[in-house]
Structure 1
Amino acid sequence: MGFLPSGFVKVNGERFTDLAVCHPMGHYLEALHRTGYYYTSIGIMQMTAAIFLLIPRTATLGAVIYFPIILNILVLSWAVRFEGSFLSAPLIVLANLYLLCWDYHKLKFIFPWEQRDVYLN
């Protein structure tokens, strides 16, 4: 649910935060906001992941879409030493990894180490 409001703000073209541009995270988010369509596309993907995660039938796809987004937030938070998500981002990444592991049986066909029975005639 947390990605719905943040994605909606981006789709509407509004700034995500009121952090000053002298703060490293504020500077990054201001630059991201100025990219235009890229900022909007991130918002669309955040909202798509959130909606997919809320629907049981599409939750696996939602977790797959959500993972690179939240991993990027984690790396960015650590890189700029942003205290606002210093604890929450790693916990959300762990929760997402749990979801991906829970649905491993649905995803294992994409991994090269999984053996497939192939019968050639």
Structure 2
Amino acid sequence: MNSFIQKIKNKIWTQLLIIYTRYLIGGAFVFASIIKVKGKRFTTESGAEYSIDTAWHLFETMYQSGLYWQFLGISQLVAGFLLMTQRYSKLGALLFLPIIGNIFVITLSYYFAYTPVLTGMMLVANLMLVAWDWNELKVLFNRTPVMSSDNRLENKPVWEWTGLALFIFTAIYHVINNGHDIKFWSLICILIGLVGLGIGLWKHKINADSISLGK
């Protein structure tokens, strides 16, 4: 069973899936966090006049707390950033888990239309990331860790640089434009991701060719 799992984890497509899952949910957290860090409402209007059992009233209550609202934003920002760095993604996945778990339960507790589907998918994605790194994370449970090979595609520096570019663009864009144009933000992020993908696969091919020639 362990050998089968290791074969799956050594495949390029599974490693790319993990890399870009980290970018996706990490970037979403960073995008949503900055407005809280800035001390602004997540919604376009006050929810004070809404019924106490509505999501809008909940958001208004958290917003009016001030420090707690910003603390939530900072927590999301740190977790998202760590995921996007790739290098510190294991810590990011652990920090992400209780936050997204809490958000998922909130969306179940109030009427959010289809939002629980989205938050549920993010929770499942986060659990997948934790499971992916379980061989190293199990040291937290006093079990002997198994370190991954540095030669694996997911451990190459190009993904760290791509994650940093995505983070910097997201942060600057949101600070300057308050993140109003989500379509533009998404488009630029996709372009950055594609450039990183092209460079990463190109470098991987060169490395593979070098190893073949060496043999």
Is TM-score (shorter-chain normalized) higher than 0.5? Answer: yes
1:115 Cα offset (Å): 7.5
Counterparts of residues 46-65 of structure 1 (less than 5 Å): 46-65=76-95
Conserved 8 A contact 2:138-2:144: no
Query: Structure 1: 5+ residue runs without aligned partners?
Result: 117-121
Structure whose residues are more often helix by fraction: 2
Q: Aligned partners of 1:86 and 1:40: how far apart in 2?
A: 23
1:20 Cα offset (Å): 5.9
Count of equivalent residues: 115
Please name the residue that 2:34 is paired with.
8
State the TM-score, normalizing by the size of structure 1: 0.86
Structure 1 moving runs of 4+ over 6 Å = none
Q: Aligned partners of 2:76 and 2:139: how far apart in 1?
A: 25
Cα distance 1:84–1:30, how it changes in 2: closer, same or farther (>3 A)?
farther
SS state at 1:17 partner: coil
Query: Structure 2: 5+ residue runs without aligned partners?
Result: 1-26, 146-215
Pair member with larger Rg: 2
Please name the residue that 1:108 is paired with.
138
1:13 Cα offset (Å): 0.3
What fraction of aligned residue pairs are identical, expressed as a percent? 31
Corresponding letter in the other structure for 2:93: A
RMSD of aligned alpha carbons: 1.9
